Structure 1
Amino acid sequence: MKKISILFLILASGPLMANDNVPVIKPIPLIALKKKSDQYAGVCHAVENRCTESAKVWKEKGVGEGYYLTDSTPAIIKIRRVKNNYIKDGEWNFSQYRGTDHSSDGELNREEISVFPALYPINKTEQAVALVSKWSTAYSGGGRVEEYADFLILNSNGSHQLAFKDIPFSSSEMIRACFSEEDYAKNSHCHDESWSILNLKIIDEGKSYYSWKFITRSYNWPSFTDKSSVTVETSEQVKTPLQRE
């Protein structure tokens, strides 16, 4: 099945409105550290017994001095670097978090819940992470994958608060359209394919919370056609953190 790369698009930002004076806020990507690096060793020393096989260590991209450890629990731990010392500065555990059940159609099964490697500003002082749940099913010669994100505000006391719930994060589906050797011999594209990707834009309108614009681009590529036949549809929705529908 087509593997959708969403890292760049989910972190992209640009003008939300025609007013160029409205500040656009950029999410902070987290960059994975190599296991043999001194920074990796320093973080692991600060969080004893947490650098397990499933753990990954991250650093804020750019000039930020924040370090983070995520694991399959799932959980995220924040570490600060003070001179040459690494100090644990917060931990948020999501092991009891389940999110929305998407198995109602009888096809999809939950694969995993994971923390996406990025920090999303809620306002000038608070940040959120995306807890992404992955659901999938296999077809003969294809399959379907859907990912949904709950954006959770990280409170300083280790608790978290739901900012946005069940946001479609990405999806892909592949359905086989060739069933014989003759079919495969005649056609180079033997699947009906579709996929979608989320693009997030955050702006500061001077309110208590930033406005978030969720832009979903959905792609469709019919079988027996070349890639120029791909069609794109875009849907947009603006939401405010903690707003309840």
Structure 2
Amino acid sequence: MIRVLVPFLAVASASVLAVEAPPAIKPLPLTAVKSGSDQYRSLCAALKNRCDAAKETTLWKSKADANAFYLINSSPELMKIEKVGSTWTVKGTWDFSQYHHSHSEPNQSDDELSASGVTLYPALYPLGKNQQAVALVSQWSTGYSGGGREENYADFMQINDDGSYQAAFKDILFSSREMIRACFSEQDYARKSHCHDESWRVLQLKITDEGKAYYAWEFITQSSDWPSFTDKSEITTSVSREVKVPFAERAQ
């Protein structure tokens, strides 16, 4: 789950004038085109039936541009399509099938998770005034009796007009969740209480234009814990923050 924090208003105490903070620079979530709709069929026909069920192909549209659409499949591959008049035109294709994700092995201290695949998250992320990225997410999971655990890590990939791409940020925790069963006896279930120990982490982004070639990204990870046999009011939350600039690791 990705969202951007809302900017605040600063108040000048001397002049009592409200000074608006710079506009928020937000990721652009893509909206699914409903399978079987007229728009879906029109796009698939224009793409010469590339809407392949075997590749789990999905179609998406941009809220910022009514004429911009995207195809995502399980390769994973991204294709941008634009409509000019009545004609659909492919504006770019990015094939990530040969990309070696930075989180391709389980953590050294934890070998119980198994790889569940790499997917493209349906959103565009601004890296600079003229650069965008997509999140290539490596998924890891395991099942427990009455619960389970999953972790997702993102490489944010700058996409270029010529179909090339580069990793702007690597191995960023995207989200995670764990649920462990705590009820085992009839007495436990009779309490009608929360029967799991649960924890989850969610990434938020705050993107700032500091007048440089690339924006500064603040990675804000919110971690929550909900112990078993407690009400939701007992959930505890902590937040960690880290500011990074795209390609900083490559420059080192």
Q: TM-score if structure 1 supplies the norm length?
A: 0.91
Cα distance between partner residues in 2 of 1:101 and 1:81? 37
Cα distance between partner residues in 2 of 1:153 and 1:33? 24
Cα distance between partner residues in 2 of 1:212 and 1:17? 20
Match of 2:191 in 1: 186
**CA shift at 1:16, angstroms?**
8.4
Match of 1:37 in 2: 37
Match of 2:95 in 1: 93
Cα distance between partner residues in 1 of 2:99 and 2:230? 42
**CA shift at 1:167, angstroms?**
0.6
RMSD of Structure 2 on Structure 1 (CA): 1.8
Match of 2:172 in 1: 167
Residue type of the alignment partner of 2:203: L
Instruction: Quote the sequence identity (%).
Output: 53
Deviates more, 1:51-60 or 1:36-45: 36-45
* Match runs of 1:163-242 below 5 Å: 163-242=168-247
Cα distance between partner residues in 2 of 1:87 and 1:15? 37
**CA shift at 1:81, angstroms?**
0.8
CA distances 1:180-209 after superposition (whole Å, capped 9, x unpaired): 122111241111100011111211111100
Conservation of the 8 A alpha-carbon contact between 1:23 and 1:204: no
Conservation of the 8 A alpha-carbon contact between 2:8 and 2:21: no
Deviates more, 1:179-188 or 1:54-63: 179-188
Gaps of 5+ in 2: 11-18
SS in 2 for 1:36: coil
Residue type of the alignment partner of 2:93: E
Cα distance between partner residues in 2 of 1:31 and 1:50? 19
CA distances 1:30-82 after superposition (whole Å, capped 9, x unpaired): 10011233332232233224201111100001444211000111110000110
**CA shift at 1:133, angstroms?**
1.2
Match of 2:48 in 1: 48
Cα distance between partner residues in 1 of 2:143 and 2:65? 43
Conservation of the 8 A alpha-carbon contact between 1:23 and 1:203: no
Match of 1:15 in 2: 7
1:62 and 1:23, CA in 2 relative to 1: closer, same or farther beyond 3 A? closer
Cα distance between partner residues in 1 of 2:68 and 2:21? 29
Conservation of the 8 A alpha-carbon contact between 1:14 and 1:24: yes
SS in 2 for 1:24: coil
Cα distance between partner residues in 2 of 1:102 and 1:173? 19
SS in 1 for 2:7: coil
Higher relative contact order (CA closer than 8 Å, sequence separation 6+): 1
Match of 1:25 in 2: 25
SS in 1 for 2:211: coil
Gaps of 5+ in 1: 1-5
Aligned length: 237
Cα distance between partner residues in 2 of 1:46 and 1:73? 20
Which is greater in Rg?
Answer: 2
